[in-house]
Amino acid sequence: MKVKFGASILSWIPPKWTAEGGLYAIQKTAAAGFDLLEILLPPSMDIDTQTVKKQLKDHNLEAVCTFNLPASCHIPFYPKEATLMMKTMLNKTADLDLNFMGGVLHSGIGVFSGEPKTEKEEETVCEVWADVADYAQKLGITIGIEPINRYESYVCTGAEETFAND
């Protein structure tokens, strides 16, 4: 197995996807000699997947997608909205012919209830993840859930919690 090295679009552009910024990130990633680019999908999902797919191919780059749930899709508060958003991000990943989607997919960064995660919230997160995981499997996409620190979220703050919700 060949080890591959990559860069995030955040290495080159701010976290707001534009067609021009995306092309710039692709060009800079290729010029720096990386093998792949981490594409942070925008919450608007406004990304021309056919153009990006061609640009990646033209620059001999592989890619993975990532996404961070916005506050409006914080799973414990908005499970239906979160499910819809994650299925949309998976569709965009599939449209790019990619097979990995990672990121902060358990909660909106910086959204807090003021209390520790409840059993009901954990059940809600698990139900949403189960539904989204089934959908991802049908598309052939592997999901990587990124835990973040307790100053950013109360839902999934470490690997132990991530695996417990598996």
Q: What percent of the chain has pLDDT over 70?
A: 95
Q: Tokens for 79, please give them.
A: 């499970």
* Per-residue pLDDT at 22: 96
| pLDDT per position as a tens digit, 90-135 | 999 999 999 999 999 989 988 988 888 899 999 999 999 999 999 9
- Does the pLDDT value for residue 42 go beyond 60? yes
pLDDT-based confidence at residue 161 (cuts at 50, 70, 90) = low
3-state secondary structure of 149: coil
pLDDT-based confidence at residue 162 (cuts at 50, 70, 90) = low
pTM (2 d.p.):
0.91
| pLDDT per position as a tens digit, 53-67 | 999 999 999 999 999
- Does the pLDDT value for residue 159 go beyond 80? no
Q: Tokens for 132, please give them.
A: 């989204």
The CA-based angle 108-110-113, given to 5 degrees, is: 85
* Per-residue pLDDT at 157: 79
Q: What percent of the chain has pLDDT over 90?
A: 77
Which residue reads 């191919």 in tokens?
57
Which strand (E) or helix (H) includes residue 40? strand 36-40
* Per-residue pLDDT at 16: 86
Mean pLDDT for the chain? 93
Closest alpha carbon to 107 in 67, 58, 144, 156 = 156
Neighbours of 152 (CB within 10 A): 17
User: Roughly how many angstroms between the first and final C-alpha of the chain, as a whole number?
Assistant: 27
Q: What is the average pLDDT across 43-53?
A: 95
CA 90 to chain centroid, in Å, comes to 9
Question: In which order are the strands placed within the sheet that holds 100-104?
Answer: 6-8, 36-40, 62-68, 100-104, 142-145
- Pinpoint the alpha helices (H) of 62-158: 79-95, 119-139
- Does the pLDDT value for residue 153 go beyond 80? yes
Which strand (E) or helix (H) includes residue 162? helix 159-164
How much is the CA Rg of the chain, to the nearest whole Å? 16
